[in-house]
Structure 1
Amino acid sequence: MATTESSQMSSACVMAIQNISESVYAGLCLKIGTTQQVTFRRDIADITELLRNKYFDCGQKRIMESGSRREGFRLEGSDVDIMMWLPNHKVIWDDEQSDHYNPNTQALILCHSSMSPPGFTLLVVPLEAANETVLSSCVRINEVLVISSAKYREKTCTLLRPGSKVHGPCSSGRERSLEYDIASCFASDFWPPSASSWIDRCHSWPPPRVVDDIVRNGCHFVAIGHKLGKHVDNEWRISFSRAEQKLVYAMNHTQFLTYGLLKLFLKEFNNGLREEEKILCSYHMKTAVFWAIQQNTLDRWCPQNLLQGFWLCFKLLLKWVYEGVCPNFFIPENNMFLNNVYGEAQKNLFTRLYSMYEMGIAFLLQSPFIRSYIMDVICNPRLSLCIDECALISEAKLDVELFQEILYNDFLSSKDLDSCIKHIQIVEQLIGDDPSLTDYQCLMLQKHTVSVLQSAAFILQNMRTDDCVNKEVYIAYKASCNMLKLAAKFGFVSDLLYIAMYLYKTFRYEKALSVIEMTKVKLAQPCLMYGYHVDPERYTAVVGGQSWSNKMRNAVAYDIELANDINYIDELLLEQVCSYLQRVSILEVPPIIILHMLEFLCCRHAEPVRAEKALDDLQHLVHYDQGVLVDIYSRDISWEILGICQQITGNHQAALYSYEQSQQQYPYSKILNATEIRIQDIKTTRPAGFFYSAVSSIKGMVCFLYGTVRSFLVRFGSLLARFCMRLARYVL
């Protein structure tokens, strides 16, 4: 009888833990992401990297996003981790591997790891041939030319991003609201001999195809030495960032959320500690998950076993701290605790972790985030739990993040028409040759194409010179209009405003007003999604279940992005130039602000009576919007635009007030210098027209003029027609 009761209690306990695990799983899906969210984050990151590296295919550089964002996390406070290397500098492990390369076009770097701790190596330049930055970072050790990691780190720090500071192996800094870490490194196409044991260990996980893919992609070398090594300033750490990304991709969603729960635990564990006291890091958590999955201790990683998986990783971490040994997943001989987990620090860390271990899994109740999901089940054991992802997150919320992700990753480098042509050719090649593209990646390519077409249209218009004949001018006008119409067909609702800008720029005010009226109706739709603002019920009622391409065209709007190296309208040229000089590449303006500005500017020429009404609407919006149409990051440029319009009417007192308000906003657009110039223009007694003639004189800074209109049209026309036919198959 006692045995039966004990068995029933044990079974009830297991059921309770499984129910709690499911509840925590659902909470983590909301906090970290569902399978679908994580999938589209990764798909979009993958296609963006492919686009970027195909564009920079001339030996210039290779770029790879790494870290938690690339793995699929979007946790608050996470920075952007970038690895950048020279593709024509190849690292080899022995002389025989040099046969794979042409020494006339590729600089060879040889690993020499016999003098370094496990996981680290010296990089030798055997032929003493490399680019200037590499050679100037070299030192001689025993008559051998070695690349100094410390020197290379210092030389590339501000080269990559002016104003950056060295942080570990990276150049760190902040660009607007985003913190970044850029590691300038080297790459090898070959798997490190010291990591060969990892291949032999991979019996159960990861799958053979993933192992082969990882080994085939080699490794990287980041510029930091072992603190206890003999050559700390000259050694390089072997980095498995690409391999780790592929391993995280190979996790199932429960494993991924377990990893996420460990990251959340670490953040709270380190909360309140000084930087030098934070000796546990996210990389230790990732390593614990890798080992726990590969050791196959847990039979099944599923939502019901999530807490069991977390507990397994926690105990492994506790064991490592007790022993003072955290073995690198690829090179176990590399003890990642050697530098900082020893002595008093090790003792204190173990004491804290062990006190949690004594509490059992209940120590998670100390976490404000996790507590509610545990208590829901404890207080209501019969609670019906739902872990169906479709029920956890609404279609509208999912779409908000998807479109934000696409916008964030919309890489573009189109300073001239040759760049635009190259971008179009790359997209054409991808959609024509790669049947494995996912829906998310096709959507990303669609948005990328829209950005290229918009840039090309305005670059083409800026190429117009005084010696252009009327026929060439008209042909260029039609070509630009067609590109902008095509972009609007494939793009967001707000992309119609690029057509209106172009028509205003080319003095076609009536046509511009017609486009503005059409856009105004579309932007006023109750179902419209603008940034994070959307009415889920109305949005779903109108476009629910439709393709994302249809949603983009009919119910989604975003800020107008003005590339600061392209002139769109003269009235904003000063702001673009000043923002550009502050190393900001894009000026972002709310669509409704651009709409009212264009309406005011066009009406001054076509319908003067309407101009005052348009200005009143703009003024009311800027003064009274509560962050719905004009958020905190857009208020500086919005007040600036209001001031510009007021100054044009001659209302200098109102304009001065608007410019001063612009100065008091968060300086997201980096236009303070432009605002100061405009204020001084009002306060001084210069002749009328002086200011705008001064603006015209700086157009050369942002308009890259070259070639002729005709030569471009010949090159671009047939390519665009062929490309559009291919693109239509994916988006219609």
Structure 2
Amino acid sequence: MEDMTREKHESLKFYNYLCQKIGSEEVVKIRRLALVIHDIGQSNNTITSGSKGEGLDLKGSDLDVMFIDPYIKVYELETEVCVFDSHRLSFIMNTDETQSSFTQLYLLTHYQNHELTFGNFGGLLNLLEMNHLRYVLSSEQYKQLCMSHRFASYLPKKVHGPCISCDNDKYDYAWCLKCDAWICQAKPWIRRPRTAWPSPELILKIISCGVLFVPIGCKGSINENIEWRISFSVSEKNLIFSFSHTQLLCYAMLKILLKEVLDKHEDLKGLLCSYFIKTLMFWISEETNPNLWRPDNIIPCFMACLKRLIYCVRYSILSHYFIPENNLFLLRFNTDNKEKIITLLTSLYRQGINCFASSETLQDFRIQSNESTESLISRNSRLLQQIIPIFHTIRMIFEPDQVLRLLYTFLHSSRTGTSRVLFALQISEVYMVVADKNQYPNSPGNKHRYVSYKNELNNLVIGLNADAISGLLKLASFFYVHKSYEASLNMISYTLQKCTDEKIDISCFIYEKTFNPIQKHVLNLMKKEKLSAIMKSLIIKSCRFQKDSSIIPQELQLDVSERYTFFHPLPFAHFLSFLCYYHLHDISSCRQSLQRLQQAQKTSIIFIPNCLNTVIMCGIAHQLMGDTYSARTAFQEAARHDENHFSTASLRLTSLI
């Protein structure tokens, strides 16, 4: 009995430690909700998947985003096609010549009997190949089309499996096709014997999701370039969401063990992947009594998962969760690497939780678990430290027409306090984007200008709730564009008063991952405040302006002529102040603002894109003051650090010659 009590105590300590390092239930819920709301706010049918979409934010994890192609629909059988959609092409699955979990996609016979012009689908015509006297959709050509036309030319990109990766492998994008029905190959999954997980309600929900198809064929197949992999990503996400927190932490630990311990061995790197870990967890969860997944039993649960992984590798068997005929470990290992990985996994198993001693994420367990982490860091500090990276990640482009969708979902589906807070933050963010869009760009007349002015002003006021600073500065920029220089200066002065030491810069936080003593103290004083109040009063975001923004100073229009861009709040405030004084012919105040801008430039991190814009703003200010030499020096410095040509530095240099 004493041994059992000691084991439970050890498990509880480890569980609490994991909540600090990986995320508590509350943190995971916020991460998930933030990304789900972000997906709702996209103009495309967007699904955030992968570790971050599941609520985890582990070291080295990228953001996986799936876009469902609106122009193509897949059916299992031709008889399922009741109506011919003039806006979408229909394809039929053909699995006669493919391995399980793969399919070919044949063009619907209806189209075969017509001249292949397709109207709006002309671009898709080049993706078809002839196979057995029928047109089949090429996965390889489809992926190339996505790469060439669906990414801005300035983004570095490469093919990574079925995905297109960019931005230093931080993001994986996959365009996929959808079948709304649950396919035959996976129907045995619905009624196979299981304990209590997944529940009948969850099974029904998963069936309603249908399946996806991603553009990659079975490796080594003679028809690899025209095959598509059947993807259950949405279903898998729902299954992960149903995990208890203990299950999720065991899943995270296996991923950490894989990435931070096993993959350090170069000859084993890539042999096991996250998808295998996920599949393993599904099988174990289905066969296990849900009551075993408790915080005071987390160590035995994890060890059982690790033992099952060793078994799967030893016997080269890991069945696909939805289509068990597909053995994911078939021909995966050779004699040498199989023996080595079994030896390594067995050694780790014998060490118990000490197997994480060489892990970067969990190596300090023995030290921190003996300390009172609650006394070292307040709940708010820990909460923000773990969720800020997600809020930084999701600051992507929103389309104005998605505001109504967000509002509708907020009003009809938001039932918890946390979801209402996150919806409010996201809606405020979107309204700031909407404010960038001139609703009447070519409309003459005072009435249209007045309506546009009022709409932009109203949107910006709603956007003030997104954070502590950037909304105020965009409002100041709005007044500047409308030549209300005094109003703009008053807004800038008020904003600068709020730029105090306790503010948390979200753009730099991803590099620092910690808070200074003042920030910790203020967060501790605000321990009874709601998340929305903390975000609004303490968080600083970069000022983001959309492409062809109507509220950015004319002097910076060049920077948004091709793409959206970011400006660091403090230097942007000083530059905006400089511009106001410049137009008010107050040269003395101009020089003071320029000095403050230069001081902000010296303290900026030059390799962050929005800090490159700080150097460019210095150059523009010097240029306006007639100091061409200093302007050229600033543009040259920015261009030297702008390897990917994100900024306008080179273009502005050319204009000075």
How far apart in 1 are the matches of 2:355 and 2:277?
17
Counterpart in the other structure of 1:529: 504
1:95-244 pair list within 5 angstroms:
95-99=78-82, 101-127=83-109, 129=111, 131-161=121-151, 162=153, 164-172=157-165, 174-175=166-167, 179-201=170-192, 202-227=194-219, 229=221, 231-244=223-236
TM-score (norm 1): 0.79
1:609-658 per-residue CA deviation (whole Å, 9 max, x = no partner) reads 322222222222222x265xx88443311111112112211223333332
1:118 Cα deviation after fit: 2.0
One of 570, 576, 579 as aligned partner of 2:560: 576
One of 50, 64, 76 as aligned partner of 2:59: 76
Counterpart in the other structure of 1:41: 31
1:83 Cα deviation after fit: 2.0
Q: Is the 8 A contact 2:196 2:290 kept in 1?
A: no
When structure 1 is superposed on structure 2, of 630-639 and 325-334 the one drifting more is: 630-639
Counterpart in the other structure of 1:691: none
How far apart in 2 are the matches of 1:551 and 1:116?
54
Q: In the alignment, residue 242 of structure 1 is paired with which amino acid? A: V
Q: Is the 8 A contact 1:158 1:171 kept in 2?
A: no
Q: Describe the shift of the 1:484–1:542 C-alpha distance in structure 2 as closer, same or farther (beyond 3 A).
A: farther
Q: In the alignment, residue 519 of structure 2 is paired with which amino acid? A: P
How far apart in 1 are the matches of 2:85 and 2:456?
45
1:610 aligns with 2:611: no
Query: Which secondary structure does the structure 2 equivalent of 1:613 belong to?
Result: helix
C-alpha RMSD over aligned residues: 3.1
Counterpart in the other structure of 1:27: 17
One of 613, 625, 631 as aligned partner of 1:655: 631
1:646 aligns with 2:646: no
1:364 Cα deviation after fit: 3.9
Counterpart in the other structure of 1:622: 601
1:337-368 per-residue CA deviation (whole Å, 9 max, x = no partner) reads 12422444333333333344455555444445
Q: In the alignment, residue 255 of structure 1 is paired with which amino acid? A: Q
Q: Is the 8 A contact 1:633 1:668 kept in 2?
A: no
How far apart in 1 are the matches of 2:22 and 2:129?
46
1:323 aligns with 2:315: yes
Q: Is the 8 A contact 1:225 1:232 kept in 2?
A: yes
Q: In the alignment, residue 23 of structure 1 is paired with which amino acid? A: K
Q: Describe the shift of the 1:242–1:645 C-alpha distance in structure 2 as closer, same or farther (beyond 3 A).
A: same
Counterpart in the other structure of 1:429: 408
Q: In the alignment, residue 530 of structure 1 is paired with which amino acid? A: D
Query: Which secondary structure does the structure 2 equivalent of 1:110 belong to?
Result: strand
Q: Is the 8 A contact 1:458 1:502 kept in 2?
A: no
How far apart in 2 are the matches of 1:643 and 1:97?
63
Q: How many residues align?
A: 635
How far apart in 2 are the matches of 1:423 and 1:357?
49
How far apart in 2 are the matches of 1:311 and 1:520?
54
Counterpart in the other structure of 1:587: 565
Q: Describe the shift of the 1:297–1:344 C-alpha distance in structure 2 as closer, same or farther (beyond 3 A).
A: farther
1:678 aligns with 2:652: yes
Q: Is the 8 A contact 1:632 1:666 kept in 2?
A: no
Query: Which secondary structure does the structure 1 equivalent of 2:324 belong to?
Result: coil
1:75-112 per-residue CA deviation (whole Å, 9 max, x = no partner) reads 2222222222323533222344323x445554332222
Counterpart in the other structure of 1:722: none
1:289 Cα deviation after fit: 1.2
How far apart in 2 are the matches of 1:404 and 1:362?
28
Counterpart in the other structure of 1:710: none
Query: Which secondary structure does the structure 2 equivalent of 1:271 belong to?
Result: helix
1:439 Cα deviation after fit: 3.8
Q: Is the 8 A contact 1:270 1:278 kept in 2?
A: no
How far apart in 2 are the matches of 1:440 and 1:669?
39
Counterpart in the other structure of 1:460: 438
1:511-590 pair list within 5 angstroms:
511-524=487-500, 526-531=501-506, 532=509, 535-540=518-523, 543-567=526-550, 568-577=552-561, 580=562, 585-590=563-568
How far apart in 1 are the matches of 2:546 and 2:386?
23
Q: In the alignment, residue 41 of structure 2 is paired with which amino acid? A: L
Structure 1 spans left out of the alignment, 5+ residues: 1-7, 57-61, 378-382, 415-419, 685-732
Q: Is the 8 A contact 1:83 1:184 kept in 2?
A: yes
When structure 1 is superposed on structure 2, of 112-121 and 36-45 the one drifting more is: 112-121
1:1-47 per-residue CA deviation (whole Å, 9 max, x = no partner) reads xxxxxxx6xx42x4444333333323322322111111011111112
How far apart in 2 are the matches of 1:443 and 1:291?
36
When structure 1 is superposed on structure 2, of 297-306 and 535-544 the one drifting more is: 535-544
Counterpart in the other structure of 1:5: none
Q: Describe the shift of the 1:26–1:507 C-alpha distance in structure 2 as closer, same or farther (beyond 3 A).
A: same
1:212 Cα deviation after fit: 0.8
Query: Which secondary structure does the structure 1 equivalent of 2:307 belong to?
Result: helix
Query: Which secondary structure does the structure 1 equivalent of 2:206 belong to?
Result: helix
Structure ranking higher in helix proportion: 1
Q: Describe the shift of the 1:250–1:268 C-alpha distance in structure 2 as closer, same or farther (beyond 3 A).
A: same
Q: Describe the shift of the 1:244–1:392 C-alpha distance in structure 2 as closer, same or farther (beyond 3 A).
A: farther
Q: Is the 8 A contact 1:184 1:222 kept in 2?
A: yes
Q: Describe the shift of the 1:367–1:49 C-alpha distance in structure 2 as closer, same or farther (beyond 3 A).
A: closer
Counterpart in the other structure of 2:484: 508
When structure 1 is superposed on structure 2, of 503-512 and 227-236 the one drifting more is: 227-236
How far apart in 2 are the matches of 1:557 and 1:375?
33
1:116-140 per-residue CA deviation (whole Å, 9 max, x = no partner) reads 2222222222326374454433333
How far apart in 2 are the matches of 1:234 and 1:191?
22
Between the aligned residues of both structures, percent identity stands at 25
Q: In the alignment, residue 154 of structure 1 is paired with which amino acid? A: Q
1:217 Cα deviation after fit: 0.7
1:175-208 per-residue CA deviation (whole Å, 9 max, x = no partner) reads 3x55322223221111122222222234410122
Structure 2 spans left out of the alignment, 5+ residues: 112-117, 510-514
Q: Describe the shift of the 1:91–1:464 C-alpha distance in structure 2 as closer, same or farther (beyond 3 A).
A: closer
Q: Is the 8 A contact 1:79 1:179 kept in 2?
A: yes
Q: Is the 8 A contact 2:51 2:61 kept in 1?
A: yes
Q: Is the 8 A contact 1:133 1:152 kept in 2?
A: no
Q: In the alignment, residue 528 of structure 1 is paired with which amino acid? A: K
Q: In the alignment, residue 573 of structure 2 is paired with which amino acid? A: L
1:332 aligns with 2:324: yes
Query: Which secondary structure does the structure 2 equivalent of 1:111 belong to?
Result: strand
Q: Is the 8 A contact 1:223 1:237 kept in 2?
A: yes
Q: Describe the shift of the 1:454–1:280 C-alpha distance in structure 2 as closer, same or farther (beyond 3 A).
A: closer
Query: Which secondary structure does the structure 1 equivalent of 2:464 belong to?
Result: helix
One of 378, 393, 396 as aligned partner of 2:381: 396
Query: Which secondary structure does the structure 1 equivalent of 2:229 belong to?
Result: strand
How far apart in 2 are the matches of 1:642 and 1:274?
46
Counterpart in the other structure of 2:114: none
Q: In the alignment, residue 487 of structure 2 is paired with which amino acid? A: K
How far apart in 1 are the matches of 2:539 and 2:54?
27
How far apart in 1 are the matches of 2:332 and 2:128?
29
How far apart in 2 are the matches of 1:491 and 1:370?
32
Q: In the alignment, residue 409 of structure 1 is paired with which amino acid? A: I
1:334 Cα deviation after fit: 0.6
How far apart in 2 are the matches of 1:298 and 1:443?
31
Query: Which secondary structure does the structure 2 equivalent of 1:566 belong to?
Result: coil
1:238-283 per-residue CA deviation (whole Å, 9 max, x = no partner) reads 1111111011100011110100000010012333444785211111
Query: Which secondary structure does the structure 2 equivalent of 1:460 belong to?
Result: coil
Q: Is the 8 A contact 2:604 2:611 kept in 1?
A: no
Query: Which secondary structure does the structure 2 equivalent of 1:205 belong to?
Result: coil
Q: In the alignment, residue 652 of structure 2 is paired with which amino acid? A: R
How far apart in 2 are the matches of 1:472 and 1:297?
65
Q: Is the 8 A contact 1:587 1:669 kept in 2?
A: no
Larger Rg: 1
1:260-339 pair list within 5 angstroms:
260-274=252-266, 277-296=269-288, 299-339=291-331
TM-score (norm 2): 0.87
